[in-house]
């Protein structure tokens, strides 16, 4: 399949057409929104950063508690950060240009650096002094033609250091490479010359052997990437989707399979986000499909069908002793957050919780039947496992799942933002919880294995929060085996970072 044909698939998926609401312009709308955000202490991170003073650097961050000597390495996060130019403001949280955060942790000393990813989009808009390109939820008038997904690649969703470079990833285009030393942008990663510009989505998985697996989707076509521990492309496979044109956000890897949820959500780019007809909508009568493919040959596959729901994130997938694939994921009853919640936050408007809940299903590879095992009631998102367990099955399979969580105790605060953590023992349903409190927004936390230890909970929990009372971003460290006690150490940054999505830790060698 030619690169041109695959890029045509992107266009068929809706990218590159004219659509959406025009960006908010000052003073009528954008200034009103800024005033609303400034008046709601929980939402001030949605003010974002600007391009001239957006980078952040704190060589030594004040700490409290005990940061372990053995915790040494670099913790990366990524998220949308630049929301305004020349008086225009994006509508949708996912539209902002990406900013990668790097926390360095060495023997109790904490440093931080944050830099906007210098994408071709950002550089063109910087030179023009205004937004040029339509974004996921915002129309920009009078821009140049979009020639491919990387024209509008915001590199704003995940950051992972792999084979000596930081990958800043988005959903529909190339990963951007960054230098771990100073987060300077090296440019879009081209895994092989003829594959330049093909999508490399934001949720690759690195298995226990250091192999990175990922997918990319373009309308009815998709690709499966396998990258070796040294950063060289080992294979690329092409396939066709059993549900073309939907949204594919995350994937899991087992010893034998790749597992990809295909939620029945269609993106109608002719419709605006916000009020009025829904732009991101559940496709009536369509199930949630789970595509399970053999890594050695993705043509060998099964498609399972589950009740319709929206899925952003997988917790894990593993092969059980009987050959079934056990999948945990976070599902929501509809695409409300994608369509409305992420717009309301940007506008400084309170939102209800999106209703995303942890679920487990057993996928019988022999019969093709899917059996739901449990449906927990807590609102959760951003599920993560101990990274040493990625791809492992049987007795070595991950049993514990860490999520951001929100409970009724949130009271009147914006319920679409998480305020705590939940660690769930998947076989039994037993949980530990920690609640940061109503004045704190909990971002994704991750499990960091302790050096030289192999127990699943012989790990730290590392993650950022936004403290609305302090108006500061805080780096938190908890003990996984004693999550309910809360942070054993913190570092309070001298500034507010925009709320981000995903990140990963790289241990110092
Ligand atoms: Fe994600």
Number of domains in the chain: 1
CA 360 to CA 342: how far, in whole Å?
Answer: 26
CA 114 to CA 464: how far, in whole Å?
Answer: 14
pLDDT along the chain (509 residues), means of 10: 40 36 62 88 94 85 94 98 93 95 94 97 96 88 84 97 97 96 97 95 95 94 97 97 91 98 85 62 93 98 96 97 95 88 88 84 96 82 97 96 82 74 94 94 98 97 97 98 98 96 97
How many whole angstroms from 79 Cα to the centroid of ligand 1?
Answer: 10
Sequence-distant (≥ 6) Cβ neighbours of residue 140 within 8 angstroms: 22, 23, 88, 131, 132, 133, 134
How many whole angstroms from 201 Cα to the centroid of ligand 1?
Answer: 9
How many whole angstroms from 493 Cα to the centroid of ligand 1?
Answer: 24
CB-neighbour burial class of residue 47 (10 A; exposed 0-12, middle 13-18, buried 19+):
middle
Cα Rg, the chain, nearest whole Å: 21
CA 449 to CA 366: how far, in whole Å?
Answer: 35
How many whole angstroms from 170 Cα to the centroid of ligand 1?
Answer: 9
How many whole angstroms from 401 Cα to the centroid of ligand 1?
Answer: 16
CA 506 to CA 160: how far, in whole Å?
Answer: 8
Domain that includes residue 64, residue range: 3-507
Helix (H) or strand (E) holding 273, with range, is none
How many whole angstroms from 64 Cα to the centroid of ligand 1?
Answer: 30
Contact status, residue 424 vs residue 405, Cβ threshold 8 Å: no
Helix (H) or strand (E) holding 45, with range, is none
Contact status, residue 48 vs residue 83, Cβ threshold 8 Å: yes
Contact status, residue 114 vs residue 100, Cβ threshold 8 Å: yes
pLDDT value for 68: 96
Side-chain half-sphere CA neighbours of 136 within 13 A: 23
How many whole angstroms from 303 Cα to the centroid of ligand 1?
Answer: 22
How many whole angstroms from 382 Cα to the centroid of ligand 1?
Answer: 7
How many whole angstroms from 202 Cα to the centroid of ligand 1?
Answer: 7
- Please report, for the domain that includes residue 52, its CATH number: 2.130.10.10
pLDDT value for 279: 73
How many whole angstroms from 409 Cα to the centroid of ligand 1?
Answer: 26
How many whole angstroms from 203 Cα to the centroid of ligand 1?
Answer: 7
How many whole angstroms from 286 Cα to the centroid of ligand 1?
Answer: 22
How many whole angstroms from 455 Cα to the centroid of ligand 1?
Answer: 27
How many whole angstroms from 367 Cα to the centroid of ligand 1?
Answer: 31
How many whole angstroms from 69 Cα to the centroid of ligand 1?
Answer: 31
How many whole angstroms from 253 Cα to the centroid of ligand 1?
Answer: 16
* 274-300 b/e (C-beta count within 10 Å ≥ 16 → b): beeebbbbbeeebbbbbbbbebeebee
How many whole angstroms from 403 Cα to the centroid of ligand 1?
Answer: 13
* pLDDT tens-place string over residues 107-120: 889 999 999 999 99
pLDDT value for 414: 61
Contact status, residue 440 vs residue 468, Cβ threshold 8 Å: yes
pLDDT value for 416: 77
φ, ψ for residue 283 (rounded to 5)? -85, 110
How many whole angstroms from 314 Cα to the centroid of ligand 1?
Answer: 9
Q: What is the pTM of this model?
A: 0.93
How many whole angstroms from 501 Cα to the centroid of ligand 1?
Answer: 6
How many whole angstroms from 106 Cα to the centroid of ligand 1?
Answer: 28
How many whole angstroms from 76 Cα to the centroid of ligand 1?
Answer: 15
How many whole angstroms from 244 Cα to the centroid of ligand 1?
Answer: 20
How many CB atoms neighbour CB 26 within 10 A?
15
Sequence-distant (≥ 6) Cβ neighbours of residue 87 within 8 angstroms: 25, 26, 27, 30
Q: 127: which 2 tokens?
A: 């030179």
CA 443 to CA 463: how far, in whole Å?
Answer: 7
CA 153 to CA 158: how far, in whole Å?
Answer: 13
pLDDT value for 15: 37
How many whole angstroms from 87 Cα to the centroid of ligand 1?
Answer: 29
Query: For tokens 């509508």, what's the residue?
Result: 91
pLDDT value for 165: 98
CA 63 to CA 337: how far, in whole Å?
Answer: 35
How many whole angstroms from 500 Cα to the centroid of ligand 1?
Answer: 10
């Amino acid at each position: 399949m030619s690169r041109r044909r695959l890029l045509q698939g992107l266009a068929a998926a809706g990218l590159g057409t004219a659509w959406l609401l025009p960006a908010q312009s000052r003073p009528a709308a954008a200034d009103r929104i800024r005033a609303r955000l400034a008046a709601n202490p929980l939402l001030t991170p949605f003010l974002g950063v600007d391009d001239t003073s957006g980078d952040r650097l704190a060589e030594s961050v004040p700490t409290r508690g005990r940061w372990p000597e053995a915790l040494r390495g670099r913790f990366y996060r990524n998220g949308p950060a630049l929301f305004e130019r020349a008086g225009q403001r994006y509508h949708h949280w996912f539209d902002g240009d990406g900013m990668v955060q790097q926390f360095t942790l060495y023997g109790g000393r904490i440093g931080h650096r944050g830099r906007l990813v210098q994408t071709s989009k950002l550089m063109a808009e910087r030179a023009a002094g205004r937004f040029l390109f339509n974004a996921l939820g915002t129309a920009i008038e009078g821009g140049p033609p979009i020639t491919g997904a990387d024209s509008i690649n915001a590199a704003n969703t995940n950051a992972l250091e792999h084979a000596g470079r930081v990958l800043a990833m988005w959903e529909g285009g190339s990963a951007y490479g960054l230098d771990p030393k100073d987060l300077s942008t090296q440019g879009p990663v081209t895994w092989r010359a003829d594959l330049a510009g093909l999508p490399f989505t934001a949720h690759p998985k690195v298995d226990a052997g250091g192999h990175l697996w990922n997918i990319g989707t373009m309308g009815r076509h998709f690709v499966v990437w396998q990258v070796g521990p040294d950063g060289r492309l080992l294979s690329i496979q092409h396939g066709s989707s059993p549900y073309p044109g939907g949204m594919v956000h995350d994937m899991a890897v087992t010893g034998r399979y790749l597992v990809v949820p295909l939620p029945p959500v269609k993106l109608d780019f002719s419709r605006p986000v916000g009020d009025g007809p829904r732009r991101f909508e559940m496709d009536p009568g369509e199930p949630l499909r789970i595509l399970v493919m053999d890594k050695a040959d993705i043509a060998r596959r099964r498609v399972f069908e589950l009740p319709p729901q929206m899925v952003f994130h997988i917790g894990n997938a593993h092969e059980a002793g009987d050959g079934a694939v056990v999948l945990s994921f976070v599902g929501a009853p509809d695409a409300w957050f994608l369509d409305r919640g992420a717009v309301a936050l940007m506008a400084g408007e309170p939102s209800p919780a999106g209703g995303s809940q942890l679920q487990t299903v057993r996928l019988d590879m022999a019969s093709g039947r899917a059996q739901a095992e449990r449906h927990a009631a807590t609102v959760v998102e951003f599920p993560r496992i101990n990274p040493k367990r990625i791809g492992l099955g049987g007795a070595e399979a991950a049993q514990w799942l860490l999520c951001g969580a929100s409970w009724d105790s949130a009271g009147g605060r914006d319920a679409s933002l998480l305020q705590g953590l939940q660690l769930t023992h998947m076989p039994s349903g037993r949980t530990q919880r920690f609640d940061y409190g109503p004045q704190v927004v909990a971002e994704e936390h991750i499990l960091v294995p302790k050096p030289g230890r192999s127990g699943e909970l012989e790990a730290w929990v590392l993650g950022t929060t936004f403290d609305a009372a302090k108006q500061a971003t805080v780096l938190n460290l908890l003990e996984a085996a004693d999550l309910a006690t809360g942070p054993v150490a913190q570092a309070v940054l001298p500034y507010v970072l925009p709320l981000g999505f995903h990140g990963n830790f790289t241990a110092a060698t």
